[in-house]
Structure 1
Amino acid sequence: MPYRYFYDTEFIENGETIDLVSIGVVDEHGREYYAISTEFNPDAAGEWVRRNVLDKLPAPGDKRWKDRSTIRDELYEFLVSPVRKKGGTHPGERVELWAWFGAYDHVAYAQLWGTMPALPKALPRMTKDLRQRWDDLGRPELPQAEDHELHDALGDARHNLRRWRTLEKQRQSVGWKN
């Protein structure tokens, strides 16, 4: 059985680089991780990111503000520790990452380790895409996000878990194997 994580990142991008602002992750069992990077440049953010993301972040003194290396280390432990506790010998084969428009989020997440080859073997090399799953299942009605969740990485991650649960019910009702 895979151990599924649903996540979202907020980031600043300029067409050449993606600069992580925050990451929120939830698993199927209710565990959560949320961190805000102390290393992004808010001056590089466009108006939309300033209004919809930066204005929603907790105050800079909040303990969730962390440097990227701390985020990387904590995130790694958060992702692999449940698999290790179950006695998995190859935890990377069991960890699944899911996101809405997963390609964007995967780049922001993977860059915490630097280059793609530096990503630890215990972590997936791809993020499964909820948006594609939704398309494949005929675009069934999905739960709406709460207003306070929009463009908040942890709120969006929670919403991704709700989306996945709805899509799983749809998948099972149509007899789709996977």
Structure 2
Amino acid sequence: MTYRYFYDCEFIEDGVTIDLVSIGVVDENGREFYAVSTEFDPDKAIPWVRRNVLDKLPSPADPAWRGRDRIRDDLYEFLVAPLRGRSQVRMELWAWYGAYDHVALAQLWGAMPALPRALPRMTKDLKQMWDDLGRPTLPSIEGSQHDALADARHNLARWNVMRPDPTA
């Protein structure tokens, strides 16, 4: 059996570093996780990121704002809790651009080898799947694009259209 998570990360990148701004995760059963980092440097954001990501973040008083260590710990608990005691269940991570999002997620643990063994070493790529399937019509996004949680929900909706076996 496979337990799938669909996620999106918003981040600032400068060609050398990917700095997490926010992460949204939705599982197949509708459980959701959302966090905004208190540790990114907004001054490093390009104008597009300021306008389309930073300006849309919740108020700093929102409980979604937390330090990177707390995001890491809370995210880990969110991801592994449904799998405890179910040794035959395999976890999959899915994102629209899996490589970028996986780096942003994995960096919560520092160097890539520090990623906990319980977490997949890669994120499956929904956009690549979409291309491979001949670009079928997908649902339009509801809500605010470039909001990590809204985009994670949209990734689940995309999966529901593209998945090979609707009973899987």
TM-score category by the smaller chain?
Answer: over 0.9
Does the alignment pair 1:159 with 2:154?
yes
**Structure 1 equivalent of residue 115 of structure 2:** 119
Deviation string, structure 1 residues 112-152 (Cα, Å, up to 9, x no partner): 00001100000000000000111111110000112x33000
1:61 CA displacement: 1.2
The 5 Å alignment of 1:1-178 reads 1-84=1-84, 87-89=85-87, 94-146=90-142, 148-168=143-163, 171-172=164-165
How big is the shift at 1:172?
A: 4.1
In structure 1, distance between residues paired with 2:144 and 2:100: 19
Gaps of 5+ in 1: none
Unaligned 5+ segments in structure 2 are none
| TM-score (structure 2 length as normaliser) | 0.96
AA at the equivalent of 1:104: Y
Using the size of structure 1 for normalisation, the TM-score is 0.91
Larger % of helix: which? Answer: 1
- Give the secondary structure class of the aligned counterpart of 1:96: strand
Measure how far apart 1:90 and its partner are: 6.8
Q: For residue 149 of structure 1, give the secondary structure of its aligned residue in structure 2.
A: coil
Q: Distance in 1 between matches of 2:20 and 2:81?
A: 23
Letter in 2 for 1:36: V
Task: Give me the CA root mean square deviation.
Answer: 1.4
Give the 4+ runs in structure 1 shifted more than 3 A: none
